[in-house]
Amino acid sequence: MRVLITDFGFPNVDQERSLLTAAGAEVATAQCRTPAEVVAAGRDADVLLVQWAPIDRSVIAALDHCRLIVRYGIGVDNVDLRAAGERGIPVCNVPDYCIDEVADHTLALALALARQVPQTDAAVRSGTWKITPPGPIPGFRGSIFATVGFGRIARAVLSRAAAFGFVTAAYDPFLSPDAFAETGVRPLSLDALLATAGVISLHLPLNAETRHFIHAGTLARMRRDALIVNTARGGLIDTVALAAALEARALGGAGLDVFETEPLPPDHPLRSAPNVLLTSHTAWYSAASIPELQRKAAEAAVRALTGQPLRNVVNEAFLSPAR
Catalytically active residues are 233, 262, 281
User: Phi, psi at residue 8, to the nearest 5°?
Assistant: -165, 150
The CA distance from 222 to 251, in Å, is 7
Question: Is 132 exposed, middle or buried (CB count within 10 Å of its CB: 0-12, 13-18, 19+)?
Answer: exposed
User: Of 197, 209, 191, 189, nearest to 158 (Cα)?
Assistant: 197
Which class for 320: exposed (0-12), middle (13-18), buried (19 or more C-beta within 10 A)?
A: exposed
Distance CA(135)–CA(150), nearest Å, equals 31
User: CA-CA distance, 155 to 153, in Å (whole number)?
Assistant: 5
Structure letter (DSSP) for residue 11:
S
First to last CA, the chain: 17
The sign of the dihedral angle between the CA atoms of 79, 12, 68, 292 is negative
Q: What angle do CA 208, 150, 77 make, to 5 degrees?
A: 30
Asked if residues 271 and 264 have their Cβ atoms less than 8 Å apart, the reply is yes
Question: What is the Cα–Cα distance from 101 to 181, expressed in whole angstroms?
Answer: 25
Alpha-carbon distances, residue 127 vs 106, 134, 136, 274, 275 (angstroms)? 30, 13, 20, 20, 20
Rounded-to-integer distance, Cα 161 and Cα 218, Å? 23
